[in-house]
Structure 1
Amino acid sequence: MSRPIVIVNASLYGEETASLLVEDGVIAQVADSIEAPEGALVIDASGLVALPGLVDLHTHLREPGREDAETIETGSRAAARGGWTAVHAMANTNPVADTAGVVEQVHSRGQEIGLVDVFPVGAVTVGLKGEHLSEMGAMANSRARVRLFSDDGICVYDPVIMRRALEYVKTFDGAVVQHAQDLRLTEGSQMHEGEVSAELGLAGWPAVAEESIVARDALLAEHVGSRVHVQHLSTRGSVEIVRWAKERGISVTAEATPHHLLLTHESARTYDPLFKVNPPLRTQDDVDALRDAVGDGTIDIIATDHAPHASEDKDCEWAAASFGMLGLETALGIVQKVLVDTGVLTWRDVARVMSETPARIGRVDHLHGRPLAAGEPANITLIDPNAPWTVSADALASRARNTPYGGIELPGRPVATILRGEPTHLDPRLAPDTEGVPA
């Protein structure tokens, strides 16, 4: 039986102030004041915002196969420090997560570590090769209960394969999660196609290469009557296509990443591979469109696309470097900086786009993204919105160090994460007498 927790004077969703009693993994009481049971851990949350634990629909944990870059344990620790109570682990591991055996291994390892719930994402095609559908049914019926399938990092390019995948996942209420990239239009591409790429002499990744696949997949989803989720939207045109599809009643959802909401292709002028990501950083106009789309609900969620790399894969010339950047520990601070503090989102909106809706899309909303109310699972994130901090790669919990935010000041950060009543991250200042809880 876990130790009771009393969270005192928290600002629920950034609105009303209340205290919460957590017992046996659930929120037992929400009231103006609560008398702490004997032996309870008391957390003074004055000035803190309480949200349901965050749910990341797009995380790379690299295990099995690239434990030199990240492991389920180090990635889980980074997630807990970032306020996440659940992450969806992408399939592009070695071996690829295209069988029931691999997804069950990832799922069970996440449970063993216990810092976050790790939900495996199954591959759409065998070996991510785009030729034959994977064992979707076996993964869906496994102990991991997979509901999301993606060849992330590689587009499901063949429209026939994509249609068949959409038909298959429909049978168990799953979704195909697409990395939208026309491979023929992006061969050898290094960054966003535009004036900056021309000046730098780097091959361009045109916006239409994303937009054409988003449009195609929306039409396929409509034809089949199935669910498609578009990863890391990065262009104004993609936003307009998703908006059109939603107005048409197509079952399409979409995500934006913190880096596409903050950074632009101007960062590439440094030739620092920390800014090399797929899809690439775009223009300020695209960034503005993404922010507006998160605000009006066209973009459903914010997901990190946390992509750790070993040093040799980033500490090299731009063209040879791998795509991707870290995101789990900095996401909430960036969202506060560009969306909350600018008035685009409220904290209640943050709960929607970073907890409730991703849990629903991933079909784990019976466990995560639940209201902060009596009888609900005690998955809770406490945020100090007035705790500025400067990002340092060496201070991050991830095994990798490829953050593009080094030296950037963020306005706030998670100070406590609770998973089913157990603290998985706790700032020592909140409970100085507590031992054994990860800081």
Structure 2
Amino acid sequence: MSKTLIRGAKVLGGRALDVLIDGGTVAAVGTGLDADGARVVEADGQILLPGLVDLHTHLREPGREDSETVLTGTRAAASGGYTAVHAMANTFPVADTAGVVEQVWRLGRESGYCDVQPVGAVTVGLEGKQLAELGAMHESAASVRVFSDDGKCVDDAVIMRRALEYVKAFDGVIAQHAQEPRLTEGAQMNEGAVSAELGLGGWPAVAEESIIARDVLLAAHVGSRVHICHLSTAGSVEIVRWAKSKGWNVTAEVTPHHLLLTDELVRSYDPVYKVNPPLRTEADVRALREALADGTIDCVATDHAPHPHEDKDCEWGAAAMGMVGLETALSVVQHTMVETGLLDWAGVADRMSFRPAAIGRLAGQGRPVSAGEPANLVLVDPAYRGTVDSARFASRSRNTPYQGRELPGRVTHTFLRGRATVMDGKLV
């Protein structure tokens, strides 16, 4: 059906309006709209947002299809209200050539559930020794603009400087996984009182903060763009705030789990809480929420990191790091930011759609809900409250820290260029 009329939706949390979708675009926004032959969606005061955009998703394909595939990952994304995701480069083989990023891009186009924008590796094999084919990846069909060795830090300052200089030619951005490796050898969780009590190797905040400080200085020196992945400490917030006060081209993201969970949960020794960077303290959580609210942190990114059962259902020390997050991100943000009064729904649209699309330079995504714009949209029922059940996830993996937890909000409809990928809470 080429036409859909969404009736009575609160656009960005404002007043209730009708939105007419015709083909792949928003044809009209107003009151009392009608369209013969259109499918009608009664929104009943639900929140209509632009489709969400994730800057940090691990789709695992090629190489770890036991964890996730582009198809299952994009189905999970659509279920969570996403119309675009950035697929990280730590696949097997690594996405460090034009051939691999084009493969991921084409798989995304074939899936049809959301746009998949590959992230290219900064260095060959994520080894931190030699720059990857940044120019070739940008010039490929995938048109890569974001590069990251996520999972590993580009810890060599000379390599980092060269990467920042290289991507200036096409307005690219280096997304840094800030982790000084020598300060985190053997680290298992946040360094602090809890790690001391549990006898687990501590992961100091300074390991993140020192890399961020170095990289914002490098970015300023060469006049390039740097993006900080999954920022997790109060000290990191202050460094980014200082860099932005200088007018430097620095952006940062925070994950939903770092907005909600703390290192106190590690007392259970449940590996579902093992993540990189680690869960931090309550003081860090407060600082991250405030920084997201005031714009110091630009956006929410899921760091969706699926793992098969055997990689997480084991002793803490042997468990893989990471959590799935695409299908719960919006609910966690509603819980931590909207229900606390730190953000309104227009602010959610800014942090989860407009800004990440701008950072990734994604055309057609992160656009206002207005006539003539691409119909990438998500309807959310904010009054809904439900218990997280990972057995119902579209993702191939189940390693969620929210299993059995009650969270607010539910994505009822997702539209990708006017085509419904989710209807009445179910994948189409």
Relative to the length of structure 2, the TM-score reads 0.99
Shift of 1:425: 0.8
Instruction: Indicate the residue corresponding to 2:413 in structure 1.
Output: 416
1:261 aligns with 2:259: yes
Letter in 1 for 2:101: V
Report matched runs for 1:51-62 at 5 Å. 51-62=49-60
1:438 aligns with 2:405: no
Q: Identity percentage over the alignment?
A: 64
Instruction: Indicate the residue corresponding to 1:49 in structure 2.
Output: 47
Shift of 1:37: 2.1
Residue 353 of structure 2 contacts residue 365 of structure 2 at CA under 8 Å; is this kept in 1? yes
Instruction: Indicate the residue corresponding to 1:320 in structure 2.
Output: 318
Q: Secondary structure at the match of 1:266?
A: helix
Instruction: Indicate the residue corresponding to 1:432 in structure 2.
Output: none
Letter in 2 for 1:9: G
Report matched runs for 1:35-434 at 5 Å. 35-38=34-37, 40-364=38-362, 366-427=363-424
Shift of 1:16: 1.6
The whole-number CA distance in structure 2 between the counterparts of 1:47 and 1:18 is 9
Shift of 1:426: 1.2
Shift of 1:36: 2.4
Shift of 1:41: 1.3
Letter in 2 for 1:427: D
Residue 87 of structure 1 contacts residue 119 of structure 1 at CA under 8 Å; is this kept in 2? yes
Shift of 1:108: 0.6
Residues 173-212 of structure 1: CA distance to partner in whole angstroms, max 9, x if unpaired?
Answer: 0000000000000001000000100111100000000000
The whole-number CA distance in structure 2 between the counterparts of 1:33 and 1:326 is 41
Residues 68-119 of structure 1: CA distance to partner in whole angstroms, max 9, x if unpaired?
Answer: 0000010000000000000000000000000000000000110011100000
Letter in 2 for 1:178: Q
Residues 241-272 of structure 1: CA distance to partner in whole angstroms, max 9, x if unpaired?
Answer: 00000001110000000000000000100000
1:27 aligns with 2:26: yes
Shift of 1:3: 2.2
Instruction: Indicate the residue corresponding to 1:9 in structure 2.
Output: 8
Q: Secondary structure at the match of 1:184?
A: helix
Q: Secondary structure at the match of 1:411?
A: strand
Shift of 1:47: 2.0
The whole-number CA distance in structure 2 between the counterparts of 1:258 and 1:348 is 18
Residue 16 of structure 2 contacts residue 45 of structure 2 at CA under 8 Å; is this kept in 1? no
Residues 131-155 of structure 1: CA distance to partner in whole angstroms, max 9, x if unpaired?
Answer: 0000000000110000000000000
Letter in 2 for 1:285: A
Give the number of equivalent residue pairs: 428
Shift of 1:31: 1.3
Structure 1 unpaired stretches of 5+: 429-436
Shift of 1:395: 1.2
The whole-number CA distance in structure 2 between the counterparts of 1:412 and 1:312 is 31
Residues 20-47 of structure 1: CA distance to partner in whole angstroms, max 9, x if unpaired?
Answer: 1101100011110111222x21100112
Letter in 1 for 2:103: Q
The whole-number CA distance in structure 1 between the counterparts of 2:241 and 2:389 is 37
Letter in 2 for 1:223: H
Residue 218 of structure 1 contacts residue 228 of structure 1 at CA under 8 Å; is this kept in 2? yes
Q: Secondary structure at the match of 1:388?
A: strand
- RMSD (CA atoms): 0.8
Residues 262-312 of structure 1: CA distance to partner in whole angstroms, max 9, x if unpaired?
Answer: 000001000000000000000000000000000100000000000000111
Q: Secondary structure at the match of 1:43?
A: strand
Residue 235 of structure 1 contacts residue 290 of structure 1 at CA under 8 Å; is this kept in 2? yes
Residue 391 of structure 2 contacts residue 398 of structure 2 at CA under 8 Å; is this kept in 1? yes
The whole-number CA distance in structure 1 between the counterparts of 2:299 and 2:141 is 26
Q: Secondary structure at the match of 1:399?
A: coil
Shift of 1:235: 0.3
Residues 399-431 of structure 1: CA distance to partner in whole angstroms, max 9, x if unpaired?
Answer: 001001001111112111000000001116xxx
The whole-number CA distance in structure 2 between the counterparts of 1:164 and 1:278 is 26
Residue 254 of structure 1 contacts residue 301 of structure 1 at CA under 8 Å; is this kept in 2? yes
Structure 2 unpaired stretches of 5+: none
Letter in 1 for 2:233: T
Residue 36 of structure 1 contacts residue 42 of structure 1 at CA under 8 Å; is this kept in 2? no
The whole-number CA distance in structure 2 between the counterparts of 1:390 and 1:397 is 16
Relative to the length of structure 1, the TM-score reads 0.97
The whole-number CA distance in structure 2 between the counterparts of 1:121 and 1:268 is 31
Residues 53-72 of structure 1: CA distance to partner in whole angstroms, max 9, x if unpaired?
Answer: 00000000000000000000
